[in-house]
Amino acid sequence: MRAAVRREDQAGGDPRIAVTEGHGRVIDETARMAGGTHHFLRRSWYQAGGGVRARTIVGHRPDGSPFAALPLVAMGPPMLGMNMVPGSYWPFRSPVIAAHAEEGELRTLIGDPQSRSALGQAWRIGPVYAEDEGVRRLAAAACAEGWTRLARPLGTTFVMDIPKLRASGGWPTRSAARKMARLERQLMEQGRLRLRFVRGEDWDDRALDALAAIEAASWIGQRTDGSGAKFLSRAQRGYWEAVLADPELAEMLSAAILHVGDEPVAFSFDLNVGPLQYGIAGSYDSRFARWSPGRLVTWRHIEESEARGIERIDWGSGDSGYKREFGAVPGSEIVDLLFVRSRPLAAVLRGRWCGGGGEIDPDARRLLSRREQLLIAGLATAAAAASLAE
């Protein structure tokens, strides 16, 4: 085992590392010291999904202030010793790293014997953004402590910089404004249009019922098994109800719901952190597809968000057209990270995890222990299950 690098500060003494059961309030305390775009990484963000063998690796400075919290749940069968950072929405499966955390502190966090035991044979962070500063620093510390980092690309996010577009005359474009006005006029012929904006104390059963009804009438509810929905099933809805039970997260989460008459027909569901808005989900009633209600509710939500001080909208990966139409451009690369303790095992897993695929070399397999060979099979199953859940 590599010896952990210890940090001596002006207060004297070393960082204290502890592994606690569950996901406790120290996560909230650490989140307040994370970068401004990561203040939503609160314990409810991790607790909502449940998970087997939930625990948290916590690092405290000698003065008692936390500098990092690494929430974990089991990934795959517990006997394989794999773990992952959970999270309510898949681009943000990030650990909580204070902005002031230092390299030596993070190496101590990863290198501590308690941490090594809790992390197991392999652990996953992701999907996350490639330039996530906290993840980058923690990954560097892990590599310095002997872990092998494997990364697989999962796409590119699209972002809209509202002040920049305003300054260049790119928002709203005349053609987009005319198109939205025309669609809105046509949709009004079906009934009176009403927009409801929900956040904070406005979250109630009526709002969640509307989101679920829209998903039930959407292509996801009508033509798929519904696994891609957010509110359709009791379990999916319960997931977000658990997150919204945290008043601070309820204030950060918002929805714009478009009604035609008394009927909800489209929504946009988002996470707001300071001047940044992350798009989580959107859906619309397929019966109204010809009038593009999804675009209309997004259009009006942008206006409402800008009025609240939102300057940048991150719509995640994938582009079905409306993102570019509204001025979004490619932003961050999204990656899924796996850290593996055994170097021979990492060499075998590299092609499969990073996208190379192919058969495992028989000579390389013979170098692995029986447990490591089981881990290869278990990792494929666990990754597929996690992707399905996301």
**Cβ pair 75, 386 in contact under 8 A:** yes
The number of domains in the chain is 2
Domain that holds residue 41: 16-156+334-389
Residue 52 burial (C-beta neighbours within 10 Å; 0-12, 13-18, 19+): exposed
Residue ranges of the chain with per-residue pLDDT less than 50:
1-11, 358-361, 363-364, 384-390
With H, G, I as helix, E, B as strand and everything else as coil, classify residue 370: helix
Question: Do the domain assignments include residue 8?
Answer: no
**Region for residue 228 given its phi and psi (left: phi exceeds 0; alpha: psi -120 to 50; beta: otherwise):** alpha
| Location of structure tokens 């829209």 | 214
Question: Do the domain assignments include residue 6?
Answer: no
pLDDT in tens, 241-285: 999 999 999 999 999 999 999 999 999 999 999 999 999 999 999
Q: Report which residue type is found at 69.
A: A
- What's the rounded Cα separation, in Å, for the pair 356 and 349? 10
Helix (H) or strand (E) holding 342: none
Question: Do the domain assignments include residue 4?
Answer: no
> Which residues, in sequence order, are CB contacts of 376 under 8 Å at separation 6+?
345, 348, 349, 352, 360, 368
- What's the rounded Cα separation, in Å, for the pair 155 and 380? 20
Same domain, yes or no, for 279 and 378? no
- What's the rounded Cα separation, in Å, for the pair 18 and 68? 11
Question: Do the domain assignments include residue 162?
Answer: no
Same domain, yes or no, for 351 and 312? no
Same domain, yes or no, for 184 and 231? yes
Same domain, yes or no, for 25 and 150? yes
Q: Which CATH number fits the domain that encloses residue 71? A: 3.40.630.30
Same domain, yes or no, for 142 and 187? no
Same domain, yes or no, for 232 and 340? no
**Cβ pair 296, 266 in contact under 8 A:** yes
What's the alpha-carbon Rg for the chain, to the nearest Å? 23
Same domain, yes or no, for 205 and 311? yes
- What's the rounded Cα separation, in Å, for the pair 104 and 173? 50
Q: Report which residue type is found at 254.
A: S
With H, G, I as helix, E, B as strand and everything else as coil, classify residue 286: helix
Question: Do the domain assignments include residue 7?
Answer: no
Same domain, yes or no, for 366 and 226? no
